[in-house]
Structure 1
Amino acid sequence: MKLLFSISLLLTFQNMMMAQDCSCAAQFNFVTNYFEQNNPAFQKIKNDPAGYTIYKADLKKLRTEANKKKDTDLCIRLLDKYVTLLKDHHSGIGFNLNRKDLGDSTKVAVFKSSAAYRQFKKIQVDTSELYTRLNTKDIADIEGIYSDGRSIVFGIVQKENKPNQYIGVVLKTNKLLDAGHILLELTRQQDSSFDVSYNIGLLGFNFQRIIKNTTIEHGQIPFLGFSKGSVPSSQGKNYEFKELNDSTNYLRLLSFDARLTRELDSFYLTIDQAIKSKPFLIIDIRNNGGGSESSYFKLLPYAYTKPLQIDSASVWVSPENIKRYEESTTGDYKDLVARMKKAKPYSFIPQSEQAVTTWSMDSGTVYPKKIALLFNRGTASAGEGMIQYFIQSDKVITIGENSGGYIGYGNVMNAPVPCGKFTVQSTTTRYLQKSKYEFVGIAPMFRVKKTDDWIRFAQEVLSREKRSL
């Protein structure tokens, strides 16, 4: 599943900004035109008359709002809303953050006396009282003391008489921030996510504030890099194995992060004999946001019953996508670029001319006889890739709720938006079969409620299967 936010210090295109229309409307039009020309998910919408009609109506409303928007920092709200129309989870809008040179005390003093800096609200705050009160907050409570692990320390507190609104108040003065500065403003949404406005202009960046919707869980604000001081860097093991009873084993996998692949492969070796000693296995990949596909490959023999079908990927050919692949430093795309240049513009071509369509193994294992695979909306990307392979097996039963729907499109390429503040992050490839699951997710065979005991439910389903073995 992709990173929601990362700060990269990039040079701004100062000469471009002077010559270009940097209004929200102009940037919105650039972004929408770019996606319509270069994004594979949009092509699906365009070829669906009913879906295209809805898209155009929604686009018209957003464009009207963009034409009225005076604050270009707030344009991110409209750009994010537009990307959701594409129903492509891996595409998005990024920030190009550029920081002022504040290398000496004179420059800092000049910056802090500027109107841009002084516009930010600062309140009177008893830091000792706040430290004492917030230090008692539970890790699951939104209120508490947060830090970037370096020089920024602030407390999130609820606004008086406003149960769903919070502010992040600076508690520790540093060279740019004073105690009492409002660093963040947060609003809880109905789905328990938060709209977060981060007053990044206080730190000398080229945005006065950036706004994103995000989840805040376990004392962490991931897309900003803040966490409660008491939160450990790792939330425990990313995997777990145990025997539930004399016939059933349980395997929990929280992540397929590429950095874990070797560790997971070693772990699988240690539990191999135990897995093959019992007829039933429950594999729990709830909230596994993905990572590397190879992180689960060594589990496939346990489920294998017949050759696995491998989905074919195709690339959307456009002049801009050709340019992005030519510029890319993440892979060797020379052959692909050559084929794209020969292809008909604005069409799909196979990503590989010699793509493998099936995957056969010598044989699967006798045990387990049945596997219950648990997944939820938090299961995404490579986690969904595992689901796709496992559901082809006669051994596998799937249980839970629809997966996240981050599986249909890939190979994200970035392009600068004029005026140097935002970047377009657009997928360039489409999977023939998996694209039907994008945004909606893969449905399980058995649905369960969030409040149910999923493991117990899986055991009950497997016990019914036992009678037919």
Structure 2
Amino acid sequence: MKKIIFYLLLLFPFYNLQAQNCNCGDNFSFMVQHIKKNYVGYADKINQKTQKRFEYLTDSLQKVAHNTGSNKCIAVCREWLGFFKDGHMNISFNESSPKDEIRDFFSKEEKTIWNEEKLKSHLAMHKGQTDSIEGIWTNVSNTTKLGIVRDSLNHNEFIGFMIKYNTAMWAVQQVKFRAKKTKGIYTFTSFLARDHSPYPARVSLNKDTMDLKEIGKFYKNDLPKNTSYSSLNPKFKKLDDKTALITIPSFYLDYKNETDSLMIKNASILENTEHFIIDLRNNRGGAVGAFEKILPYLYTNPIFSEKGQILATDDNIKDGYEKPLPDLPEDLQEYFKKIISKLKAHRGELYLAYPADTIKYDKIFKKPSRVSVLMNDGSASASELFILQAKQSKKVKLFGTNSSGSVNYVESVTTQMPCNFFNLIYPAARLMRASNDGTDLGIKPDVEIPADTADWIDYVKKYKTKQHYLKSVAAIRIAATFTNPIDALSFLSSNPVDLIFLDIHMPEISGIDFIQTMNNKDAQVILTTAYKEFATAGFDLDVVDYLVKPIPLPRFLQAINKAQKIINTKKIQTPLNQQDDDYFMVKTEAKGKMLKINIAEIDFVEGMKNYIAFHHNGIRTLALLSMKDVEERLPKAQFVRVQKSFIVALNKITSIDGNRIILKGISAEILIGETYRKDFLDMMKQKLLL
């Protein structure tokens, strides 16, 4: 197994000592030219379709930048970078600058007349008359304190200002946000991030707790006891006898040793646990090497990792790959020295630095037998690379919402701009998948979790696959399962079935389109989805039932019973001349001759190139038919196909010995084909007396 592939997805900043120039127009021009020359995704993103839009945006924002103060320049630059829709591109503020210079840089930001003492006096004077959001709020780590007071000019609007902070970028009384209240709901009309740029923050209020979502929780007056600070440290927990959970907020190398230690410490638990949940929600990435101890527990088959290229420009080599990283292990430092040498030998090229690789392990763990990965739009970069590898396993299922879409372009380089306060960040490497996946919409989960689901962990714990339920119903034999609807349509065109379980959300076409497209109109359909709103469309297509995930077993069985009644009723109503009879006639190899075959006398059917051989009543009859023709004609309750060239009568099977079927009164043994083995043995197990 290759040990190092895209090991560092974030390369640390390299600061040039150069003359200070914080003119926004000049910094904007520098950014545009630098990205055009050095951003590895530029040629993918700027093409014939996007060129005019891109040029218009660039020209427009360049004019805006010339009239923008340096303290507001980051927002203008970020608007331009947003065109690329790349999560690895950003303008960051250099907080390593001298604190007095940082304070001076942000000294002109808006201030309010309110301060802590004045707010306390106001609250005491109007006790019982103020709004519930008014007051002094402290974050869980006690590093930031905000004051919130009603705007004197608008009764339903509020001003949030700084009282305490842990950065030189903010000063007492500076306005952090403005909010309004509509029908009891609070929303921000403006909110400034740590670097004073606009930020789309969200808020919800529950008594003395104010939840700012991604930013964290704030508490009015005193912090509650036993409140733990939500850190990026990984956590492992055994939820019950069958389920273990690991939460990994970050794949940064800072937390790799801790993640590795948790996996080693809890190895015995994992090897005796049926269900392993990996929570990667809001994991913004880090390094691929950070999850190397997790992969063995997911592994069922070789894992493919894609090729990767680096745009070998002088700037990328200098600002990204030549930057000393003394904290890296010695083997990695040697590895990067070799990479740098190769990049210099291929200056100006899109160099294939990372060949395609296949990860293989010697052992496949029986447990955990089921692995669920939780993901959302905050799962980015290295966490998406983990998801791409994990989804190749047969025991892994992805739950949640689409990931960030930040996986195609990686290995971020940090370059100092003309203004020493600004750092330009962009990727220098790309995966080959970027050539075929330019949408950057993120990785789609196997199971979408509804937006109104409060507890995702509980949802995944209770989730049962349709196959799990179907195997518990003796009357049902699974003909086939598909993740690709096009493959399913192809199968149905030549394989009649009685019942289809169908998801609404599928790749390429929806479940509704699938029903309208399929040829097998006699099959009954049960729709499954995470969204209730599609029920009407489903019933308009005359489906049997509509199941909303997670599906409780009683509700599943109710739908099965409903489908069985419809299927049985249709069979009873089928005209006699269309029903399966107890015999049929076949043309033999003798010209003009037909022979009667009694179905009850058939031992097995053998495919022989252009002919079919019926073995019945001690004789063999050849007929010019295909296996498909015979399989469709024989009663499914009495016959089963066990390999490409054999169909056997169930009532003639006397024993099964490993991979061999022994038939009554027949000396020949029939081998079970690999393609049909699982379905055949599952059918036999339903008859197994324990």
Whether the TM-score (by the shorter chain) exceeds 0.5 is yes
Residue 242 of structure 1: aligned partner: 238
Contact 1:90 1:427 in 2 (8 A): yes
Residue 414 of structure 2: aligned partner: 414
Residues 39-77 of structure 1, C-alpha deviation per residue, up to 9 Å, x if partnerless? 11222113x32133432333233223224x242221211
Q: What's the CA shift for 1:124?
A: 5.0
Aligned partners of 1:151 and 1:242: how far apart in 2?
Answer: 32
Q: 1:132 to 1:142 in 2, by over 3 A?
A: closer
Greater Cα shift, 398-407 or 189-198: 189-198
Aligned partners of 1:143 and 1:407: how far apart in 2?
Answer: 42
Residues 215-257 of structure 1, C-alpha deviation per residue, up to 9 Å, x if partnerless? 478879899999767385622774242344x6x4141414234
Aligned partners of 1:243 and 1:119: how far apart in 2?
Answer: 48
Aligned partners of 1:432 and 1:143: how far apart in 2?
Answer: 53
Contact 1:308 1:360 in 2 (8 A): yes
Aligned partners of 1:164 and 1:251: how far apart in 2?
Answer: 42
Q: Partner amino acid for 1:381?
A: S
Q: Partner amino acid for 1:91?
A: M
Q: 1:33 to 1:238 in 2, by over 3 A?
A: same
Q: What's the CA shift for 1:442?
A: 0.7
Residue 445 of structure 1: aligned partner: 446
Q: 1:327 to 1:302 in 2, by over 3 A?
A: closer
Q: 1:59 to 1:251 in 2, by over 3 A?
A: same
Describe how 1:388-403 pairs up with structure 2 within 5 A: 388-403=388-403
Q: What's the CA shift for 1:87?
A: 1.9
Residue 287 of structure 1: aligned partner: 282
Contact 1:372 1:397 in 2 (8 A): yes
Q: Partner amino acid for 2:59?
A: K
Q: What's the CA shift for 1:31?
A: 0.7
Look up the SS of the partner of 1:281 in the other structure: strand
Q: What's the CA shift for 1:357?
A: 0.7
Q: Partner amino acid for 1:370?
A: R
Look up the SS of the partner of 1:170 in the other structure: strand
Aligned partners of 1:230 and 1:463: how far apart in 2?
Answer: 43
Q: What's the CA shift for 1:285?
A: 2.5
Which structure: larger Rg? 2
1:269 aligns with 2:267: no
1:155 aligns with 2:147: yes
Q: What's the CA shift for 1:286?
A: 2.4
Q: 1:235 to 1:148 in 2, by over 3 A?
A: closer
Residue 120 of structure 2: aligned partner: 128
Aligned partners of 1:152 and 1:360: how far apart in 2?
Answer: 48
Q: Partner amino acid for 2:34?
A: Y
Residue 310 of structure 1: aligned partner: 305
Look up the SS of the partner of 1:323 in the other structure: helix
Q: Partner amino acid for 2:196?
A: I
Residue 69 of structure 2, aligned match among 59, 68, 71: 71
Superposition CA RMSD, Å: 4.6
Q: 1:400 to 1:336 in 2, by over 3 A?
A: same
Greater relative contact order structure (CA < 8 Å, 6+ sep):
1
Residue 343 of structure 2: aligned partner: 340
How many equivalent residue pairs?
Answer: 426
Q: Partner amino acid for 1:255?
A: P
Residue 57 of structure 2: aligned partner: 58
Look up the SS of the partner of 2:261 in the other structure: helix
Describe how 1:56-455 pairs up with structure 2 within 5 A: 56-67=55-66, 69-96=67-94, 98-99=97-98, 121-123=111-113, 125=115, 126-129=118-121, 144-146=136-138, 154-157=146-149, 159-160=151-152, 161=154, 166-170=159-163, 181-187=172-178, 195-197=190-192, 210-213=196-199, 215=201, 230=223, 234-235=229-230, 238-244=234-240, 248-256=242-250, 257-325=252-320, 327-330=322-325, 333-343=336-346, 345=348, 347-352=349-354, 355=355, 357-433=357-433, 436=437, 439-452=440-453, 453-455=455-457
Q: Partner amino acid for 1:129?
A: S
Q: Partner amino acid for 1:407?
A: V
Aligned partners of 1:41 and 1:254: how far apart in 2?
Answer: 28
Contact 2:44 2:438 in 1 (8 A): no
Contact 2:378 2:403 in 1 (8 A): yes
Residue 49 of structure 1: aligned partner: 48
Look up the SS of the partner of 1:304 in the other structure: coil
Q: Partner amino acid for 2:247?
A: L
Aligned partners of 2:400 and 2:439: how far apart in 1?
Answer: 18
Look up the SS of the partner of 1:433 in the other structure: helix
Residues 99-156 of structure 1, C-alpha deviation per residue, up to 9 Å, x if partnerless? 4769xxxxx9xx9xxxx969964515524336879xx9xxx97964348989985524
Q: What's the CA shift for 1:37?
A: 0.8
Q: 1:93 to 1:272 in 2, by over 3 A?
A: same
Q: What's the CA shift for 1:185?
A: 3.0
Gaps of 5+ in 2: 1-7, 204-208, 326-332, 472-681, 683-690
Q: 1:325 to 1:235 in 2, by over 3 A?
A: closer
Aligned partners of 2:461 and 2:139: how far apart in 1?
Answer: 42
Aligned partners of 1:142 and 1:397: how far apart in 2?
Answer: 45
Look up the SS of the partner of 1:458 in the other structure: helix
Residues 136-186 of structure 1, C-alpha deviation per residue, up to 9 Å, x if partnerless? 9xxx979643489899855244535375653314379xx9999xx522332
Residue 203 of structure 1: aligned partner: none
Look up the SS of the partner of 1:412 in the other structure: strand
Contact 2:61 2:80 in 1 (8 A): yes
Q: What's the CA shift for 1:349?
A: 0.1
Q: What's the CA shift for 1:295?
A: 3.8
Q: Partner amino acid for 1:422?
A: F
Residues 10-32 of structure 1, C-alpha deviation per residue, up to 9 Å, x if partnerless? 9985x554xxxx53222211111
Aligned partners of 2:124 and 2:358: how far apart in 1?
Answer: 61
Contact 1:414 1:424 in 2 (8 A): yes
Residue 460 of structure 2, aligned match among 450, 458, 463: 458
Contact 1:156 1:169 in 2 (8 A): no
Residue 490 of structure 2: aligned partner: none
Q: What's the CA shift for 1:366?
A: 1.4
Look up the SS of the partner of 2:311 in the other structure: strand
Look up the SS of the partner of 2:176 in the other structure: strand
Q: 1:63 to 1:361 in 2, by over 3 A?
A: same
Look up the SS of the partner of 2:343 in the other structure: helix
Contact 1:154 1:168 in 2 (8 A): yes
Q: 1:311 to 1:195 in 2, by over 3 A?
A: farther
Residue 30 of structure 1: aligned partner: 30
Aligned partners of 2:377 and 2:284: how far apart in 1?
Answer: 9
Aligned partners of 2:16 and 2:48: how far apart in 1?
Answer: 42
